Structure 1
């Protein structure tokens, strides 16, 4: 069984973060190990409190996993401080393991999740990443991208970037992959009920990481993962009083 490491925050509501990563990996038949970066008090209605863990302890979690398991992919999610981001950079920069980076900085609703200092530091992880998965707000923040034409004009980034939800209407969603050699590829699905989308970004990136660990091509991993997320939203359990979680197990 392939092993993936998720470096991300914990969601007490169980729909996002580490919890979503574990569930997504389990669906794909992958064993998920974790290094928790932050503990949150949250539910489907929002986040009421966050405690960011000490960078040295996060590093200790990562090293503990890497010293015992043969990790085939690493997913990096929420990193809540500049010091933590720099610590993660020092850990991953010499690893020969594909890094799938979900650059958590702005929510789907457009709210900033980390401060400007952390945002600037997060850019330092890009060159060590196999794939970066920004949402449309993060695409504008980090890459100046507002449209598909903007993506086509990007050059010399030398990493793969999946721009999520570049076109979203009542009928479909469109993601655009910019490969490290400057090629673009589009991925579409029908649009599911968007009242149950809590944790979709986390689940999407961890699903891709799981499939990369299983030696799928990048394009196949994205295509399968996008369909997985669509079906998980479509079959959501409708629990909680806010933006509900998806159905990771699809059973």
Structure 2
């Protein structure tokens, strides 16, 4: 059966991040993407101009609709919208026994704030049920650091894109320590919109297809890097990735 991935996230009208990037990623990696949209944004490569949260009961209705009929092999959580939505989503997901990837979205690539203090505080619920949490450097700091996130018993993909230097280091951590790190050349590009959404969705797609956590991590990082290399160069700000060219068979990956 085709791997089924439920994506709980916001819509990006510019198509570079959010639900749009998630669907493209899961599809290109051979999965079937299902969605529960938490917010509608007016957004382009230069920033977020408006956000309209979807009512909590509608978010839950989308989730239960697809879960009751189509089933699910993995879940990806992105922009969540509000603290109330966090708790409602957690209530539904606690009953599932599938991998859950939580990308704790707080700030868009453009710098726009996508989660208030109450929502970030409520992220404790999602970290408590997540299999993997995928924060960037500022998000990891806001969540209390590596030890605080790992204390929930989940894996952590500590992303290095917001760091400095000529290389980027992405690390896969477990409560027992570091499992794997990947070091790659830092690309001199502004086409980075949606990198976090894409990595988390690629990770969920890998887990849904039966890959182990380490193999899914390697595939996800490579997918993002190849998609960055093939970015189409759209927009005047932080452009979208080239998802259609981000696929490489796992058996061809180094390591």
- TM-score normalised by L of structure 2: 0.90
Q: Distance in 1 between matches of 2:231 and 2:154?
A: 33
Structure-2 residue corresponding to 1:246: 241
Structure-2 residue corresponding to 1:218: 213
Give the deviation of 1:181 after TM superposition. 3.1
Give the deviation of 1:172 after TM superposition. 1.6
Work out the number of aligned pairs and report it.
Answer: 245
Structure-2 residue corresponding to 1:148: none
1:191 is the counterpart of 2:186: yes
Contact kept, 8 Å, 2:40 with 2:52, in 1: the verdict is: yes
Give the deviation of 1:107 after TM superposition. 3.8
Structure-1 residue corresponding to 2:53: 52
Q: Distance in 2 between matches of 1:60 and 1:166?
A: 35
Structure-1 residue corresponding to 2:86: 85
Structure-2 residue corresponding to 1:229: 224
Contact kept, 8 Å, 1:17 with 1:77, in 2: the verdict is: yes
Give the deviation of 1:227 after TM superposition. 1.1
Cα 1:109/1:170, change in 2 over 3 Å:
farther
Cα 1:212/1:234, change in 2 over 3 Å:
same
SS at match of 2:143: helix
Q: Distance in 1 between matches of 2:109 and 2:155?
A: 21
Structure-2 residue corresponding to 1:70: 71
Give the deviation of 1:111 after TM superposition. 5.5
Contact kept, 8 Å, 1:44 with 1:241, in 2: the verdict is: yes
Cα 1:177/1:74, change in 2 over 3 Å:
same
User: Unaligned regions of 5+ residues in structure 2, if any?
Assistant: 247-255
Contact kept, 8 Å, 1:167 with 1:174, in 2: the verdict is: no
Deviations 1:41-82 (A, max 9, x none): 011111000000001000000000101112100000001111
Deviations 1:64-123 (A, max 9, x none): 010111210000000111111111111111211111000112345666421111111111
Q: Over aligned residue pairs, what C-alpha RMSD do you find?
A: 1.9
1:201 is the counterpart of 2:196: yes
Contact kept, 8 Å, 2:109 with 2:192, in 1: the verdict is: no
Cα 1:155/1:38, change in 2 over 3 Å:
closer
Q: Distance in 1 between matches of 2:161 and 2:30?
A: 30
SS at match of 1:205: helix
User: Unaligned regions of 5+ residues in structure 1, if any?
Assistant: 146-150
Q: Distance in 2 between matches of 1:183 and 1:47?
A: 35
Deviations 1:152-191 (A, max 9, x none): x986441101111177445321012211333442122222
Structure-1 residue corresponding to 2:251: none
Cα 1:130/1:113, change in 2 over 3 Å:
same
Contact kept, 8 Å, 1:158 with 1:181, in 2: the verdict is: no
Deviations 1:130-156 (A, max 9, x none): 0000010011110235xxxxx6x9864
Contact kept, 8 Å, 1:33 with 1:65, in 2: the verdict is: yes
Q: Distance in 1 between matches of 2:91 and 2:204?
A: 21
1:179 is the counterpart of 2:180: no
